[in-house]
């Protein structure tokens, strides 16, 4: 049975998730947005080998510790090709937000339908062209790591590089609101929620009709 642990990292409080199989002793890290030493220490304490670093998208606050951990663990960093251009603009991203530069990671591609450690990749463009969510059916009701696509009472902003409101709304309806209502949603920032709760109450996108 897989185990999941999430905690906020980096200057913008990105939710970093650790998912691992205690029996196999392997797992993944999702959105290592900063505080690489803290992430590494927690993985060591939990005692699993990291097979890959997964990324919901390539904004700087979600990849801040990627290169550091990639070098430490010698593991691949996976990202949808639609966001590769954002890696090439990391200095611009950090500069606009007044942050220190971060090293550019080397990434391999991630595609819709890919499965790793029980997480299925869902391509959900909108916040960025290559935004992805990761769905696991291993917990009661399932869990989806939603990145900056869906939040408790909110959705990802679409006024940054490559963002599209139309694509975001379509992605939420097509991929996320198609999941069971009991599915736990762990967003890229802030508290968790459920698919059913957001489908009924989210002021931006509800299941009953397009906003």
Residue 208: the pLDDT is 63
Q: What pLDDT digit, counting tens, does each position of 25-74 carry?
A: 999 999 999 999 999 999 999 999 999 999 999 999 999 999 999 999 99
- Tell me whether residue 96 is exposed, middle or buried, using C-beta atoms within 10 angstroms of its C-beta: 0 to 12, 13 to 18, 19 or more: exposed
Mean pLDDT of the region 86-102: 94
What residues contact 24, with CB distance under 8 A and at least 6 apart? none
What residues contact 145, with CB distance under 8 A and at least 6 apart? 17, 30, 31, 56, 119, 133, 134, 135, 186
pTM summary value: 0.95
Backbone angles phi, psi at 92, to 5 degrees: -65, -45
| Domains located in the chain, CATH noted | 3-201 (3.60.15.10)
Q: What pLDDT digit, counting tens, does each position of 149-207 carry?
A: 999 999 999 998 899 999 999 999 999 999 999 999 999 999 999 999 999 999 999 88
Angle 181-156-175 from CA coordinates, rounded to 5° = 40
CB atoms within 10 A of CB 174: 12
């Amino acid at each position: 049975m897989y185990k999941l642990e999430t905690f906020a990292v980096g200057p913008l409080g990105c939710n970093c998730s650790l998912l691992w199989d205690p029996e196999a002793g392997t797992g993944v890290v999702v959105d290592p947005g900063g505080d690489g030493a803290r992430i590494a220490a927690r993985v060591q304490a939990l005692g699993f080998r990291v097979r890959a670093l997964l990324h919901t998208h390539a904004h700087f606050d979600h990849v801040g510790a990627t290169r550091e951990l990639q070098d430490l663990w010698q593991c691949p960093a996976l990202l949808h090709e639609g966001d590769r251009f954002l890696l090439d603009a990391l200095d611009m991203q950090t500069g606009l937000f007044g942050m220190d530069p971060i090293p550019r990671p080397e990434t391999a591609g991630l595609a819709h339908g890919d499965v790793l450690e029980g997480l299925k990749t869902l391509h959900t463009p909108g916040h960025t062209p290559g935004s992805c969510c990761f769905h696991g059916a291993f917990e009661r009701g399932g869990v989806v790591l939603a990145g900056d696509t869906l939040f408790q009472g909110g959705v990802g902003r679409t006024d940054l590089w490559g963002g599209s409101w139309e694509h975001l709304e379509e992605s939420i309806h097509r991929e996320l609101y198609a999941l069971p209502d009991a599915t736990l949603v762990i967003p890229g920032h802030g508290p968790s929620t459920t698919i059913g709760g957001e489908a009924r109450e989210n002021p931006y996108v509800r299941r009953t009709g397009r906003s």
